[in-house]
Structure 1
Amino acid sequence: MITEIHNQADFEREIVNHKGYSIIDFWATWCGPCRMMAPVMDHASELLGDKVNFTKVDTDEMQELAGKFNIMSIPTIILFKDGQEVHRMIGAVPQEAFLEELKKFLA
């Protein structure tokens, strides 16, 4: 399951205070590559949801949070461990490449 972050309280709960791995998918409704990543993220969530907390942030809705993480291009997907950024992916990537990248950190 992918949780949507709509405010600072959501961010604190889902990322900052989460123990273990979390992902934020920074996206926007008008972004074609973001829409291409949606099924990739859904599939990854189904496979790895017991190891990773999957979230998404609409950059139009949460401009301040996007700015805090210097999001210049979307989709940008950030992997966190215990609330700290450990890896960042920019742009749409194929499903297998995305899963392989995540598995490097989860092994």
Structure 2
Amino acid sequence: MELKVLDFTGKWCSSCIILDKALASNVIPKYKNKVKFVKVDVDENDDLIKRYKILSIPTIIILKDYKEQWRKSSSISEEEVIKELNKAIKNT
């Protein structure tokens, strides 16, 4: 089973910058051996934006074997991401 976190972000998005800093310091180090984290710049990845129907950023999507398990947009806390990652890991 492969778990992946897609982090849809933009350099100009202040909420994205705050979330990305929290993920980089508190989430990615804790889960890097179990989960692949992929940062997706919305200004450079039109194909992924369309594929995953991204309407706002930040958006976090957790995939298990390429199937969407969880998605949240706009107001996202690192605690929510950790909670959903733990659920996804437990169910692998």
| 1:56-100 Cα shifts (integer Å, max 9, x gaps) | 110111112111111001011111111222211212423223212
Aligned to 2:50: 67
SS in 1 for 2:61: strand
Map 1:37-52 onto structure 2 (within 5 A): 37-42=19-24, 43-52=26-35
Provide the rounded CA distance (Å) in 1 between the counterparts of 2:36 and 2:49: 19
- How many percent of aligned residue pairs carry the same amino acid? 33
Aligned residues: 89
Mean CA deviation greater in 82-91 or 43-52: 82-91
TM-score (norm 1): 0.76
Residues 21-73 of structure 1 deviation map (CA, whole Å, 9 limit, x = unaligned):
00110111001110011122212110011110011110111112111111001
How far apart, CA to CA, are the structure 2 residues paired with 1:21 and 1:30?
A: 28
Give the gaps of 5 or more residues in structure 2. none
1:95 and 2:90 equivalent? no
Please report the TM-score for the alignment, with normalisation by the length of structure 2: 0.87
- Check the 8 A contact 1:36/1:92 in 2, yes or no: no
Runs of 4+ in 1 over 6 A off after TM superposition: none
